[in-house]
Amino acid sequence: MNTENNVAPDAGADVLQIAGETISSRLWLGSSLYPSPQVMGDAIAAATPGFVTVSLRRQSAAQVQEQVSEHGHWHLLHQQLASTGAKLLPNTAGCLSAREAILLAQMARELFATDWIKLEVIGDDYSLQPHPLQLVEAARELVAQGFKVLPYCTDDLVLCQTLLELGCAAVMPWGAPIGTGKGLMNPYQLKTLRERLPQAVLVVDAGLGKPSQAMAALEMGFDAVLLNTAVARANDPATMAAAFKQAVDGGRAAYRAGLMCERDQASPSTPTLGLPFWHQTGGGV
């Protein structure tokens, strides 16, 4: 449950629950772009993420089944990720239509034995911006099929409201285009989402490049962050993953503590009562 800005939540266990399930961490990681499976495993161990995403990419059902039966690729990947203890979150990355995304989600459910799905339907190849109409169409159908849908979307308020009304378990607006590392490009709109959707689970997904940016999202009241490139492409992914974990924990603690309100004028932290007159007025001898 979320609160309005600058108001601390009630003390007690700070548990993130989505669709009736407890998610162990507010830091979620992707599983692509790492230089090796070992490096990926080390990064995941350092982050202890709540979810680890895995993508089938856009392939035909026959191609996927061939990989499973002949090479065991997805079986081995599933085993490796499952051994970390994090929840698997298959995604529909690379899909350009609702139909493609629905088919890929169905295959992911069979391969990974999970109803969780990160829904992506890309509308622009340059910015990788989600296609709002196709996204809504896919979300409606997947929710009807019993999936726990977490859609990657823009920070448009009406789009986020629509996805939640359809039954999506959370919405995941971007901070910036995927892989750019530009952070929270539109903090005003993100704050608006948090204020207007106080009971929704909101996750900043994509565009984060620094731990400080993840901390800012959690300080703002977002429930979690999802990132990949910032860790996978770091010189030391495991150390970077640990840094993001600390930033996320710190940002959440700051939000729960209650952030001070910004002021336009300076306000002394040392009381002036009892000081000589010229100190109180700012004058001197």
With b meaning 16 or more CB within 10 Å and e meaning fewer, what string describes 172-209?
bbbbbbbbbbebbeeeeebeebbeebeebbbbbbbbbb
Burial class (CB in 10 A: 0-12, 13-18, 19+), 103: middle
Reduce the DSSP state of residue 164 to 3 states and report it.
helix
Among the listed residues 87, 118, 148, 245, the single catalytic one is: 118
Phi, psi (degrees; rounded to nearest 5) at 51 = -135, 150
189 vs 194: CA distance, rounded Å = 9
Q: Is residue 179 annotated as involved in ligand binding?
A: yes
| Separation in Å, CA 102 to CA 11, 115, 120, 242, 273 | 41, 12, 10, 34, 67
Helix axes 132-144, 98-112, angle to 10 degrees: 40
Residue 236 tokens, joined: 């030391």
Phi, psi (degrees; rounded to nearest 5) at 171 = -125, 150
* Alpha helix stretches (DSSP H) within the chain: 37-47, 61-66, 73-82, 98-112, 132-144, 157-165, 187-196, 211-219, 229-232, 237-257, 277-281
Let me know if 245 is a catalytic residue: no
Q: What size, in residues, is the chain?
A: 285
Q: Is the dihedral of CA 228, 230, 231, 232 positive or negative?
A: positive
Residue 100 in contact with residue 119, Cβ under 8 Å?
A: no
Helix axes 211-219, 237-257, angle to 10 degrees: 20
The binding site consists of 179, 206-207, 228-229
Query: Active-site residue numbers?
Result: 118
Annotated binding residues for 1-deoxy-D-xylulose 5-phosphate, written as ranges, equal: 179, 206-207, 228-229
